Amino acid sequence: MNSIKGQVAVVTGGAQGIGLAVAKRLLAGDAKVALWDANQQALHEAREALQSDAVSTVAVDVTSLEQVQAATRETESEVGPIAILVHSAGIAGANAPLIEYDPNEWKKVLSVNLDGTFNVNRSIAAGMAERNYGRIVNVASIAGKEGNPNACAYSASKAGVIALTKSLGKELAARDVAVNAITPAAARTKIFDQMSQQHIDYMLSKIPRNRFLEVDEVASMVAWLVSPENSFTTGAVFDLSGGRATY
């Protein structure tokens, strides 16, 4: 982890759950971490919990390209050039069959999960390309590979994140910029508050390891993906499904 010492890392959705666990791991490697999150109170609590001078926070709505661009300028002006991006911001959305799914809910989930990924990657990857160095990890989901019933918007949005990652990875492959995605199974975070108990039970039943993912397990995989040691692999998808994934 000392290989990322002094590097500037942006973690979206960094105030809680997977994002916060990743932030802790990056701080352990002496990186400078900027937490981006839409929840100002959660950002304050996260900064208090992390108790590190190497942490900065920016309140940003990833669905707004203008806010994301402003956050990029703010972070690079105050902390330094962004070398690492872990894009974890996302929502689960409602659980309902597709034929009953609220079109407004569909638009909301796609806006946060997919448009947000486009906005953040677009804003940060440009500087990485110019400097010929960067590491990006987009947090997708096993749902993006397999499709979960009663979660059409979430599944579709995460499939989009996988495809976007593969496209960007190929576009930047000639540079020392690695762009990869991870596909976690469910982890018991606050995102569960958005799901029905029936859907939570369904997700657990599909995991051969018969338990939910731990956020520290995600952080361990991400730690390597964002390090200089990951100098060849790009446009790839790394599984964290506990044996559920079929490809």
Q: pLDDT by residue (tens digit) across 159-179?
A: 999 999 999 999 999 999 999
Band of pLDDT at residue 15, cut at 50, 70 and 90: very high
Residues noted as catalytic: 154
Note whether residue 220 is domain-resident. yes
Note whether residue 35 is domain-resident. yes
**Mean local confidence (pLDDT), 213-229:** 95
- Per residue in 229-244, pLDDT tens? 999 999 999 999 888 8
Compute the mean pLDDT over every residue in the chain, rounded to the nearest whole number: 94
Contact 60, 68 (CB under 8 A): yes
Contact 222, 180 (CB under 8 A): no
Residue 198 has pLDDT above 90, yes or no: no
Tell me which residue of 68, 102, 90, 106 sits closest to 183, measured CA to CA. Answer: 90
Tell me which residue of 197, 240, 51, 185 sits closest to 33, measured CA to CA. Answer: 51
Band of pLDDT at residue 2, cut at 50, 70 and 90: low
**Spatial distance between the Cα atoms of 220 and 24, rounded to a whole number of angstroms:** 11
Structure tokens of 235?
């446009």
pLDDT at 191: 67
Band of pLDDT at residue 192, cut at 50, 70 and 90: low
Residue 70 has pLDDT above 90, yes or no: yes
pLDDT at 233: 97
Residue 188 has pLDDT above 80, yes or no: no
Structure tokens of 63?
């669905």
Residue 194 has pLDDT above 70, yes or no: no
Note whether residue 246 is domain-resident. no
**Mean local confidence (pLDDT), 178-199:** 82
Note whether residue 217 is domain-resident. yes
- Per residue in 97-147, pLDDT tens? 999 999 999 999 999 999 999 999 999 999 999 999 999 999 999 999 999
Note whether residue 247 is domain-resident. no
What's the number of domains the chain is made of? 1
Q: What is the torsional sign of CA 128, 219, 118, 15?
A: negative
Under 8 Å CB-to-CB from 78, ≥6 apart: which residues? 56
pLDDT at 196: 78
**Mean local confidence (pLDDT), 60-79:** 98
Residue 52 has pLDDT above 70, yes or no: yes
Under 8 Å CB-to-CB from 48, ≥6 apart: which residues? none
Can you give the CATH number for the domain in which 167 is found? Answer: 3.40.50.720
Note whether residue 245 is domain-resident. no
Q: What is the torsional sign of CA 137, 76, 174, 64?
A: positive
pLDDT at 186: 79
Domain span including residue 37: 2-240
